[in-house]
Amino acid sequence: MDKTAHIASQLYTNAQNVARPSKAESGGSDLFAQVATDFMATMRAGEETAQAGMVGTADAHSVVQALAASQLAIETAVTVRDKVVEAYQEILRMPV
């Protein structure tokens, strides 16, 4: 199985899920659970590809691509975390 095609397909699917508008009646916990699952799948695929690259069963291009996808996922998670903390601090500053 070609790891590059698998990773590209997974990234495309994740991009579709993020771009798709959420339904107003669906709970935010479902969306959060899906995002967390997608994040873990991206990290797991990156780790597996990196291990395959160390053993020599994956080419350098797929390893770099998997690591870039992992880096993007981590940067996105950190940005979301920072925004949540910022919103929480803003709520704490509100007068009651």
Q: What percent of the chain has pLDDT over 90?
A: 53
pLDDT at position 78 is: 93
Q: Which of 67, 64, 79 is nearest to 43 (CA)?
A: 67
**What do you get for the CA distance between the two ends of the chain, in Å?**
58
pLDDT in the model for residue 1:
52
Q: Is the pLDDT of residue 74 over 60?
A: yes
pLDDT at 6: 74
Are the CB atoms for 92 and 33 separated by under 8 Å?
A: no
Of residues 4 and 52, more confidence is placed in 52
